[in-house]
C-alpha cells in the first residue's frame, strides 16, 4: 500500500459501509484486501435470485438470507483475521444516530434510493464524518467525496423528487412511456385479481360515462362459485380491454389531440376455434423441478421474442386459469414479484394487450421483466471499478489529504483516451438549506392549506425529514415520534387537519416556521408567504417552495409501492440525474459525455428506472447521470 504511514492509517481506521449489494460486495472485498481491519456494514435487504449474476459474494443457497451477514462470512473466508460487523437493519433506524456515526473515521455509501442517501448525508454532516458517495448504471458510474466545510454536501445539487400521476392517466390515457402499461398491469390489474381485495383500486376509466357500465366493478372481478375459470378469464379480458376502452372513447374531448385507442375483445384477438378450445396447460407447464409457467404449453421458448396479440391473449387466459387452479390459496395475498415466473407471464401479456389497444410498442418477456422489475442491467466490471475508486478516496480522506480528493466519473466511451474523469470537488453551496441553514420560502394559501399538507408534502417529501418537529415562534405545533404521551399526540393529530391560519399559533403571511429533525440533527427555517391562487397544472400541490435545490422535471418514474391514495394517485419516483459543467477547454469532452448520458437517460426513461418497491431495488440499479451545478460559471479542472 505504499508508505508505512498509509498502511498504519488504514489499519487504525474504523469504516462504516452502507449497502452490501453490487457495489457493496466489491467494496467490502477491496477494503479487506487493502488492509482495513475494522469494517461495519448496514443493509436491510435479503439476497434475491436476480442478485447472483453480479453480487459475487452470494450463492444460490444464500437466497433469502441477510446480505450484510452473508457478505461478512464470505469475506472472512479469505481474509479471516479482520473484524467485520454486519447489521441486518435499515440505516434510518433510530439506533444508527449521530452518536453511532461519530465512532467511524469515514462512511462509504452504496445505497439504492434518494431518501436513504439524504438521511446518511445529514447524519454525516451532524457527526462531522466524511462521506464517500457512489452509484452505477450499466457502464456509467460515479464516486463523490463530501467533507463538511470543505466540499459540497450530497444535497447541495438538485435531486429529482417523486412525481404523481392520477390513476385515470394510467387507466385511460397512457403515454408512449412503456412502463405505464406495466404499472397498470402489475399494480392495478394484478393486484385487483390476486392481491389484497380491500385495497382501494379503480380499474374503471375516469370519465362521466364509466358509471354507466352494465355491472359494477365488484361483480366483474368476483368469480362466481360455479364459474368456469376460462369463462371468468374471458369476462375479465373483455371488460378491461374492451368495455373500459369503449367507455373511455365516449368522451370525445379526451381524444381531440390524442390518438384514439382501439377496444379489443377476445373474439377479435383469438380465432373462434382457439377461443373455445378446451385447453389444459397443466400437462405442459408443471413439473416438480420447474416453476409454474405457461411458456412450455404455448411453445413460447424464446424469452426475447415479442409475442403477437393472439399469443398474448392466450398467455393472459392460460396464466389466469393457472393462478385460479394451482395457486388458489395464494390469491388475495399476492404482490407482484419479478422472480415469480407465472406472475411475470401474466403481467407481460396484460401490458402487451393494453399496449395494442393504445398503439404502443409491445415487449418481450425479457424486456418486460426489466421494466416491471425495475432492472437496469448492471455491469459487474463497473461495480468493481467504482468500488476501487471509493477505497482510493477513502484512503485520501483518512490521511486528511483533502486537496487530492476527486469526484470521479466512469464513462462508457473513452474521452481523450480516458474512461475515468476525475474532477476537483465543488465548494459548499451557500444556498443549500442542509449544510448552510439558509432560510426557505414557502408560498401557500394559509387559509385553505392544512398543516398536514405542509408536513406530508413539504417537510417529509421535499425536505426529507423523518421525525419532524414544527414550531411557530415558541409554540410547538407539531411533533412526530413514538415517545409522545397519548394526549399530546392527540393534540398534534388535531392540528394536522387545521388550516395554517387556524392553528393555535396562527401561521399567516410573514410567519417563520422552524422545522427540526432530532434524529438527523437537521434544523431549517421556512418563511411563509400567503398566496391566494395557484396554477393547477404547474403547481398541483397549491404550494411553491423556494430557496432549496429544486428538482429538474423528469418524466421517468415508478410507483412508490404504497396503495393509491384517496385522491387516486400513483407516486412515480425519478432517478437522480447529475451532469458536470466543464470549462471551455473541455467543451468537446462535455458534449460526448452528455450525449452518452442523454442516450442512457432516454433508454431508462422508457424503462421506468425505479420500482414500486423502492427498497427492493439493487443498490447498483441506480441511474447516476451528472447534473448542472448551480454556479454555472465555476471552472472545473480535469486531473
pLDDT tens by residue, 461-478:
888 888 899 998 888 999
Residue range 263-276: mean pLDDT, rounded: 77
**DSSP state letter for 241:** I
- The C-alpha cell at 279 is 385447453
List 168, 357, 410, 524, catalytic entry: 168
Share of the chain above pLDDT 90, in %: 42
pLDDT by residue (tens digit) across 22-75? 999 999 999 999 999 999 999 999 998 878 888 999 999 999 899 999 999 999
pLDDT by residue (tens digit) across 159-185? 655 455 455 556 666 665 557 788 888
Q: Quick one: which of 384, 383, 417 has its CA closest to 592?
A: 417
User: What pLDDT is recorded for position 170?
Assistant: 61
Q: Class of the 6-164+379-430+557-637 domain?
A: alpha beta
Q: Is 488 helix (H, G, I), strand (E, B) or coil?
A: helix
For residue 215, pLDDT beyond 70: no
For residue 603, pLDDT beyond 50: no
User: What pLDDT is recorded for position 259?
Assistant: 85
Candidate from 118-127, 265-274, 433-442 with smallest mean pLDDT: 265-274
Q: Are 207 and 573 in contact (CB under 8 A)?
A: no
Burial (Cβ within 10 Å: 0-12, 13-18, ≥19) of residue 587: exposed
User: What pLDDT is recorded for position 221?
Assistant: 82
Q: Give binding residues for Zn(2+) as ranges.
A: 153, 156, 432, 435
Q: Quick one: which of 140, 104, 142, 150 has its CA closest to 124?
A: 104
Taking the C-alpha atoms of residue 164 and residue 169, their distance in angstroms, rounded to an integer, is: 10
Residue range 543-553: mean pLDDT, rounded: 65
Q: What is the mean pLDDT of the chain?
A: 79
Give residue 172's Cα distance to chain centre: 24
What CATH architecture does domain 179-374 belong to?
Orthogonal Bundle (1.10)
Taking the C-alpha atoms of residue 368 and residue 365, their distance in angstroms, rounded to an integer, is: 5
For 432-521, strand residue ranges (E) read 440-444, 468-472, 475-479, 512-517
When pLDDT is cut at 50, 70 and 90, the band that residue 202 belongs to is low
Known active-site residue 285: no
Which has the higher per-residue pLDDT, 416 or 590?
A: 416
User: What pLDDT is recorded for position 492?
Assistant: 87
The domain ranges of the chain are 6-164+379-430+557-637, 179-374, 440-546
Backbone angles phi and psi of 86, in degrees to 5: -95, 150
Cα 54–Cα 59–Cα 62 angle in degrees, nearest 5? 120
Q: Give binding residues as ranges.
A: 19-24, 43, 51-54, 67, 112-117, 153, 156, 432, 435
| Packed helices 341-358 and 309-326: angle between N→C axes, nearest 10 degrees | 140
Q: Which helix (H) or strand (E) holds 275?
A: helix 272-275
Taking the C-alpha atoms of residue 193 and residue 155, their distance in angstroms, rounded to an integer, is: 41
Which has the higher per-residue pLDDT, 212 or 85?
A: 85
Residue range 252-257: mean pLDDT, rounded: 80
Candidate from 148-157, 164-173, 506-515, 578-587 with smallest mean pLDDT: 578-587
What is 440-546's CATH superfamily?
Answer: Ubiquitin-like 2 activating enzyme e1b. Chain:  B, domain 3 (3.10.290.20)
Taking the C-alpha atoms of residue 62 and residue 419, their distance in angstroms, rounded to an integer, is: 35
User: What pLDDT is recorded for position 626?
Assistant: 35
Taking the C-alpha atoms of residue 180 and residue 451, their distance in angstroms, rounded to an integer, is: 32
Q: Give binding residues for ATP as ranges.
A: 19-24, 43, 51-54, 67, 112-117
- The C-alpha cell at 514 is 422552524
Amino acid at each position: 500500500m505504499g508508505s508505512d504511514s498509509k498502511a498504519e492509517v488504514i489499519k487504525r481506521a474504523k469504516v462504516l459501509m452502507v449497502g452490501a449489494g453490487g457495489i457493496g460486495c466489491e467494496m467490502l472485498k477491496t477494503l479487506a484486501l487493502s488492509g482495513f481491519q475494522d469494517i461495519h456494514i448496514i443493509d436491510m435487504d435479503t439476497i434475491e435470485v436476480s442478485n447472483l449474476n453480479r453480487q459475487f459474494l452470494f450463492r444460490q443457497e444464500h437466497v433469502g438470507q441477510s446480505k450484510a451477514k452473508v457478505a461478512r462470512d464470505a469475506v472472512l473466508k479469505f481474509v479471516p483475521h479482520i473484524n467485520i460487523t454486519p447489521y441486518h437493519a435499515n440505516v434510518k433506524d433510530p439506533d444508527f444516530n449521530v452518536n453511532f456515526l461519530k465512532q467511524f473515521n469515514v462512511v462509504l455509501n452504496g445505497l439504492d434510493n434518494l431518501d436513504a442517501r439524504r438521511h446518511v448525508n445529514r447524519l454525516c454532516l451532524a457527526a462531522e464524518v466524511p462521506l464517500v458517495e457512489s452509484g452505477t448504471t450499466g457502464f456509467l458510474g460515479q464516486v463523490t467525496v463530501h467533507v463538511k466545510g470543505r466540499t459540497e454536501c450530497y444535497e447541495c445539487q438538485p435531486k429529482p423528487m417523486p412525481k404523481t400521476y392520477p390513476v385515470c392517466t394510467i387507466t385511460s390515457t397512457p403515454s408512449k412511456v412503456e412502463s405505464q402499461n406495466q404499472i397498470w398491469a402489475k399494480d392495478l390489474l394484478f393486484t385487483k385479481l390476486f392481491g389484497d381485495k380491500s385495497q382501494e383500486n379503480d380499474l374503471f376509466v375516469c370519465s362521466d360515462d364509466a358509471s354507466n357500465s352494465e355491472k359494477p366493478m365488484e361483480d366483474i372481478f368476483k368469480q362466481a362459485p360455479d364459474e368456469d375459470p376460462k369463462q371468468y378469464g374471458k369476462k375479465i379480458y373483455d371488460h378491461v380491454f374492451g368495455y373500459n376502452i369503449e367507455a373511455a372513447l365516449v368522451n370525445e374531448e379526451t381524444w381531440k389531440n390524442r390518438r384514439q385507442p382501439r377496444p379489443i375483445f377476445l373474439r377479435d384477438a383469438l380465432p373462434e376455434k382457439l377461443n373455445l378450445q378446451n385447453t389444459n396447460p397443466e400437462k405442459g407447464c408443471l413439473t416438480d423441478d420447474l416453476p409454474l409457467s405457461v411458456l412450455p404449453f404455448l411453445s413460447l421458448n424464446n424469452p426475447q421474442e415479442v409475442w403477437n396479440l393472439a399469443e398474448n391473449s392466450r398467455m393472459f387466459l392460460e396464466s389466469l386459469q393457472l393462478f385460479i387452479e394451482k395457486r388458489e390459496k395464494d390469491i388475495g395475498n399476492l404482490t407482484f414479484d419479478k422472480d415469480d415466473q407465472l406472475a411475470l407471464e401474466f403481467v407481460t401479456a396484460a401490458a402487451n394487450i393494453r399496449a395494442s389497444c393504445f398503439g404502443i410498442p409491445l415487449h418481450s418477456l425479457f424486456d418486460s421483466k426489466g421494466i416491471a422489475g425495475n432492472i437496469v442491467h448492471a455491469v459487474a466490471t463497473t461495480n468493481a471499478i467504482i468500488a476501487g475508486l471509493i477505497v482510493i478516496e477513502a484512503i485520501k480522506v483518512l490521511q486528511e489529504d483533502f486537496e487530492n480528493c476527486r469526484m470521479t466519473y466512469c464513462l462508457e466511451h473513452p474521452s481523450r483516451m480516458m474512461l475515468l474523469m476525475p474532477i476537483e470537488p465543488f465548494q459548499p453551496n451557500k444556498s443549500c438549506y442542509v449544510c448552510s441553514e439558509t432560510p426557505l420560502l414557502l408560498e401557500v394559501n394559509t387559509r385553505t392549506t392544512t398543516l398536514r399538507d405542509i408536513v406530508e408534502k413539504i417537510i417529509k417529501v421535499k425536505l426529507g425529514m423523518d421525525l419532524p418537529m414544527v414550531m411557530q415562534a415558541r409554540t410547538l405545533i407539531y411533533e412526530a415520534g413514538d415517545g409522545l404521551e397519548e394526549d399530546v399526540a392527540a393534540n398534534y393529530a388535531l392540528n394536522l387537519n387545521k388550516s395554517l391560519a387556524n392553528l393555535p399559533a396562527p401561521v399567516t403571511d410573514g410567519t417563520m416556521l422552524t422545522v427540526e429533525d432530532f434524529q438527523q440533527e437537521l434544523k431549517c427555517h421556512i418563511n411563509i408567504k400567503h398566496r391566494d391562487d395557484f396554477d393547477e397544472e404547474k403547481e398541483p400541490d397549491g404550494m411553491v417552495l423556494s430557496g432549496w435545490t429544486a428538482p429538474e422535471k423528469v418524466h421517468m418514474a415508478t410507483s412508490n409501492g404504497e396503495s393509491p391514495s384517496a385522491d387516486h394517485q400513483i407516486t412515480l419516483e425519478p432517478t437522480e440525474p447529475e451532469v458536470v459543467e466543464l470549462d471551455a477547454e473541455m467543451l468537446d469532452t462535455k458534449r460526448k459525455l452528455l450525449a452518452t448520458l442523454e442516450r442512457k437517460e432516454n433508454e431508462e426513461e422508457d424503462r421506468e428506472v425505479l420500482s414500486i418497491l423502492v427498497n427492493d431495488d439493487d443498490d447498483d440499479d441506480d441511474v447516476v447521470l451528472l447534473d448542472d451545478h448551480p454556479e454555472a460559471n465555476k471552472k472545473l479542472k480535469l486531473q
